Structure 1
Amino acid sequence: MGFLDWVRGVNEKLEPQGATTTPPVPTENDILNALDRTQQLARDAKLHPFVLARVNRVARVIRDTLPRMKSVGLGSSDAYAVMATATDYLPEALGGYLRLPRDWADSRPIDNGKTSLMLLIDQLDLLGATMDKIFDAVARADADALIAHGRFLTARFGHEATGGELDLQAGARSIAPQHAPQPSPPPGAQPAGPVNPLDLP
């Protein structure tokens, strides 16, 4: 069950019996299907590579965010922004551009000296930055949960792990070369080395 399925279930429980039904909240599959359609539309339209890259960036961040949203309890405004970006804002920005004659859209300034293509890029950059912020919030919530769990373990078991200590001197001593004892010469043998002529018989 995805996050938006869970939201829809909560909404159904909160609605009084016999109330007029509102449009259903899109499920996670609905959102993923909307992204698939939008990306396919962008590919079929043979858009500029920098436009296609921005569309794919927004879609990728949404795909990365969706599975995590329920577990971190993301606020409803952020959840709505993700859903609306996938199902409305992104396809509408692309559709508005594609309804225009391509040469006209790419060359005719229409707003403060910007062409329709430039405006589309601005909108895609804004959507991408917004989705990045929401993904950061999701990841930060996961990181906060990890920190909280570590504090719980510290409180439960009484001390914080330090990761161990590394005694480099002990390691050096253990691998230092050991000199093997020299064997003693057999009885009557002459020691090796220079011979003193006075010692000769």
Structure 2
Amino acid sequence: MMNNPSFKLQVLLFLYSTRNLAGCVLALIGLGCFFAGFINDWWYAIVMAMYVAGWLAAPQDRELNLQILQQEHENQMRETIDQLLTQAGSRLPKEAIQKLKKMGETIEDLVPKIQAGQVTMQHSIVLINAVTRDLPQTVRNYLQLPPAFAAVHTVEGGKTCKQLLLDQLDILGNQLAKLTELINKDDAEALIKNGKFLQEKFQPVSFL
């Protein structure tokens, strides 16, 4: 599941939805009847009832809503890398900064392919969650550690927190690059395997 949309986007989706527009049309008809003198008593309730009737009668814009939500998350994916570099770049290892920059370049190549429908919704969700949710959480967890502890103290498998961070960045970076290559080759079976690997292997790391 993708991250929740912003409040502003939720409001816009509601305002522009077919259901809201249909309800508004019927409500305006009701107001017209009131001003024309066709209805007097309980006009407010009648207008509200007509809005509700329009809302219930109109179909949901599920496909459009999904497209808009995906577009927002694609933009978030682009912005996430820039924000991490801007806000945390000075506190991350140089190797991590280089990997983030490389991922940013790969994402710039991937997003147009997602928008063109070359990546399925399922794989897009896995990718977007990895970049906009799991990656920032992993970086935040790392930044909570004292620099000396992160660089020297071993915590898992004989590796330091710095090494674990770089390993995670390698997993995501390599899978992003592989995803781009597979899309270019139009290899559907390999794309499925790549998506499953990314979903299984790239998870937020607590380091402690």
TM-score (norm 2): 0.53
Runs of 4+ in 1 over 6 A off after TM superposition: none
More helix by share: 2
SS of residue in 2 equivalent to 1:73: coil
**In the TM superposition, what are the counterparts of 1:57-76 in structure 2 within 5 Å?**
57-76=102-121
Number of aligned residue pairs: give it. 125
Matches within 5 A, 1:27-38: 27-38=73-84
Match for 1:39 among 85, 99, 102?
A: 85
Q: Distance in 2 between the 1:81 and 1:59 partners?
A: 17
Gaps in structure 2 of 5+ consecutive residues: 1-12, 18-59, 64-68, 188-208
Question: Is residue 58–residue 128 contact of structure 1 (8 Å, CA) maintained in 2?
Answer: yes
Listed as ranges, the matches of 1:111-190 within 5 Å are 111-141=156-186
What per-residue deviation string (whole Å, max 9, x for no partner) do you get for residues 105-156 of structure 1?
Answer: 11001111111001001100000111112111222239xxxxxxxxxxxxxx
Would you say the 8 A contact 2:152–2:160 is kept in 1?
Answer: yes
Contact 2:81 2:101 (8 Å CA) reproduced:
no
Separation of aligned partners in 1, 2:146 and 2:154: 13
Structure 1 range deviating more: 80-89 or 122-131: 80-89
In structure 2, distance between residues paired with 1:97 and 1:87: 16
> Cα RMSD (Å) of the superposition?
2.7
Amino acid aligned to 1:108: H
**AA matched with 1:106:** A
Q: Does 1:97 align with 2:145?
A: no
Q: Could you say if the C-alpha distance between residues 110 and 67 of structure 1 is closer, same or farther in structure 2, counting changes exceeding 3 Å?
A: same
The letter for the 2-side match of 1:35 is: I
Deviation of residue 72 (structure 1)?
Answer: 4.1
Q: Give the counterpart letter for 1:13 in structure 2.
A: D
Gaps of 5+ in 1: 1-7, 16-23, 143-201
SS at match of 2:155: strand
Superposition TM-score, scaled by structure 1 size: 0.55
- CA-CA distance at 1:85 after TM superposition: 2.5
